[in-house]
Amino acid sequence: MQNSVRSLSTDLDRAAEVLGEAFADYPWTNWCVAEDSHVERVAAINGSVSRSQAKSH
């Protein structure tokens, strides 16, 4: 049986995109994340948090 390993970076990037879209209209992110490029900013925040959590484990 052959194992395949996916890049964690690819998974984290996609997860950050999904979370950026999911939290785009969330009251907290609307309050604290600038309106211009809002979805991209929320995705970047989620990506940074995910990467720092992944490094600690």
In this predicted model, which residue has the larger pLDDT, 53 or 46? 46
Residue 42 burial (10 A CB sphere; 0-12, 13-18, 19+):
buried
Domain membership of residue 3 (yes or no) is no
pLDDT higher than threshold 80 for residue 4: no
Give the residue-averaged pLDDT of 25-41.
Answer: 92
Rg (Cα) of the chain, in Å, rounded? 14
Count of other CB atoms within 10 angstroms of residue 16: 21
In this predicted model, which residue has the larger pLDDT, 2 or 38? 38
In this predicted model, which residue has the larger pLDDT, 51 or 4? 51
Model confidence, pTM: 0.69
Roughly how many angstroms between the first and final C-alpha of the chain, as a whole number? 27
Domain membership of residue 51 (yes or no) is yes
Give the pLDDT confidence score for residue 7 in this predicted structure: 67
Structural domain of 27: 8-34+45-56
Domain membership of residue 14 (yes or no) is yes
